[in-house]
Chain A
Amino acid sequence: MNIDEVVSGLILELRRGTLILLVLNQLQEPKYGYNLVKELQEHGIPIEANTLYPLMRRLETQGLLASEWDTAEAKPRKYYKITQDGEQVLQKVKENWKTFSANVNQLLEPEVE
């Protein structure tokens, strides 16, 4: 068995859902893609542009994000922001995440009571 491969596969799966949660959370203010990549990286959440850009587009199709082109500056930028539906989803998922991660942590490290 290739341990490293299994580990990276599992980590990828763990990250997938949480990334959506984080993207929704950070887009309560309008941001463009690269801006968000940098912001997440600064907080110790490594994410590649090639993951985030398609992800934001998918969330937009789902109606969780809305986008707008800003062509006023030299480079045209597409700004994304959470929608009202997205807000609702975010609040619910956030609650869920809090209890879930707390329970997981408790199981993983029972001595830290």
Chain B
Amino acid sequence: MKSDLTERYIYAVTKKLPYKTREDVARELRTLIDDMLKERCGDMMPTDKDVKVVLTELGTPTELYEQYAGDGKRCLIGPNYYNTYLFVLKLVLICETVGLTVAAIVSAVVNGQDFIWYQAIMQWVGMLFSGAISAFGFVTALFAFFEYKEISLDTNSSFDDLPPVPKKEETISKGESIFGIAISVIFLVVFLICPEIFMCGVVDGKMVPIFSTQVIRNTWYILFVFSALGITGEVVKLLDGKYTKRVMLTTVITDVLSAICAVWWLSNKNIINPEFASRVGALFEGDSAFLANMFANFQYFFMGVILFALLLDCVVTFVKWMKYSVEK
């Protein structure tokens, strides 16, 4: 069947083209193939073989599709971002692996006698795998978003538009961002896998965990968002390398959102192990009312520390931006 093969060929070429041009290209190709067959066979009825020869001349459907698709934007993460993307991806994966491994060892030690080694190893491998997938997904989505927002940034740039070479103190060191990303990833991993790691020695020699493991695991999404915000901010710093307006805005926005997450997360009374609050509180009862109070309301103390750190980050970034970027 001549028409059947032609139609299948045209369908294969056009199916991946943008919707708007699909029908138009198909119509044009139909006439073209017909013309080519006419030329080959004259008034004779073209055979199956003729159709195949003509289609071979046009190339495989994939080849022809490539021609139509051209070299327009057909990538998720382009050359502008690719190197940084790979770098951050590797960093996050390494931190995730290290964090998970440390977490696994700590849980093994803490769990003591209940420890079954093959189960622990299976669990560890499973966590590494699912952790790697979420890390990969998050980093890729983040950079795909940057790529998408930045498509037309490089057009029309003249020599006069080139930014001045930043002085040493204006730049944001790569190490700072790497450290920030590493901390975010390790924080997330440790809190999700073994919040028991935050221990507090108590007089009778027994260790009491600060946080309630179960409550923390149930609120994993807040922790995830918190870390994701931190990583996003650091990646923007890594990309720009100095205190640009973009860095300032991203920092302020991610810090505000992180603060909301922190308040939301730590307002939950149950997050602190009740045993910890009462025992440690009691420990200081006689000596210092301040310390007793601090440990009794440990989560608010913790919240305060986080909010202060976020505020400090905001202010420092804003001031540096004012100082290094605005004056010109």
Taking Cβ atoms with an 8 Å cutoff, the residues of A that contact B are: 32-34, 48-51, 53-54, 57-58, 69, 75-78
Q: Which of A48, A53, A54, A69 contacts B57 (CB 8 A)?
A: A48
* Selected A-B contacts with CB under 8 Å, 24 pairs: A32-B31, A33-B32, A34-B31, A34-B32, A49-B32, A49-B36, A49-B57, A49-B58, A50-B64, A50-B67, A51-B67, A53-B29, A53-B32, A54-B67, A54-B70, A57-B21, A57-B68, A58-B70, A69-B27, A75-B34, A76-B27, A76-B31, A78-B27, A78-B28
Give CA–CA (A58, B57) in the complex, Å: 21
- Counting contact residues on chain B (CB < 8 A from A), the size range is 10 to 19
Residue of A nearest to B69 (CB): A54
Distance of A78 Cα from B64 Cα, bound (Å):
18
| Contact (Cβ within 8 A) B59 A50 | yes
Chain B, range 68-90, C-beta contacts under 8 Å to A:
68, 70
Residue pairs across A and B with CB atoms within 8 Å: the count is 45
Q: Select one of B21, B24, B63, B70 contacting A50, CB under 8 A.
A: B63
Complexed CA–CA distance, A53 and B28 (Å): 9
| B202 contacts partner chain A, Cβ-Cβ < 8 Å | no
Cβ contacts under 8 Å, A76 to chain B: 27, 31
Question: What distance in Å separates the Cβ of B87 from its nearest Cβ neighbour in chain A?
Answer: 33
Residues of B within 8 A of A77 (CB): 31
Chain A residues near B57: list those with CB within 8 A: 48-50
Check A50/B58 contact, CB under 8 A, given A34-B35, A34-B36. yes
- A53-B67, A78-B27, A78-B28 are known contacts; what are 19 more A-B pairs with Cβ within 8 Å? A32-B31, A33-B32, A48-B58, A49-B32, A49-B57, A50-B57, A50-B58, A50-B63, A53-B28, A53-B29, A53-B32, A54-B67, A54-B68, A54-B70, A69-B27, A75-B31, A75-B35, A76-B31, A78-B24
**Chain B residues numbered 1-50 whose CB sits less than 8 Å from any CB in chain A:** 21, 24-25, 27-29, 31-32, 34-36
